[in-house]
Amino acid sequence: MAEEHKNHPAKESKPLEKMTVKDLKEIALAIPHEHTEIAVSDMKKDELIAFIKKARGITDETPAEKKKAGPKTGLTKQEIKKKIVELREEKKSVQDKWRAGILRRRINRLKKLSRKSA
């Protein structure tokens, strides 16, 4: 009875990417392979999915690649730094703490953006 519950057909019908690591490890352990117990226990989700797909002969038409996030604005690094200098000058002349806080946060965001656009 415990075996029937373990090999539940609903688990198999789910796409591999939607399964939990625990479920993927169960499937991977059922695949005959040398050093299976050691290898499967050390694998991460992406590695488990690749291992199962390879064992089943499934090929991905388009491999899932993570895209790097680029800068949100089309500004160059020099333009960003110029904007930072302008905001600093404006911040010095502002008397209102609330407005100075807004400028400080804008400067901080631009500094982060300039590091990303390097």
Supply the DSSP string of 4-56, one letter for each residue.
HHHT-HHHHHS-GGGS-HHHHHHHHHHS--TTHHHHHHH--HHHHHHHHHHHH
Indicate the average pLDDT of the chain. 79
| Domain-located, residue 86 | yes
Burial of 12 (0-12, 13-18, 19+ CB in 10 A): exposed
| Domain-located, residue 88 | yes
| Domain-located, residue 106 | yes
- Tens of pLDDT, residues 23-55: 988 888 888 776 666 677 788 888 888 888 888
Amino acid at 59: T
| Domain-located, residue 44 | yes
The pTM score is: 0.41
| Domain-located, residue 64 | no
Q: Which residues form the domain of 41?
A: 2-56
| Token duo for residue 41 | 């226990």
Q: Per the structure, how many domains does the chain have?
A: 2
- Asked whether the predicted pLDDT for residue 20 surpasses 60, the reply is yes
| Domain-located, residue 63 | no
- Tens of pLDDT, residues 64-89: 566 666 555 678 889 999 999 999 99
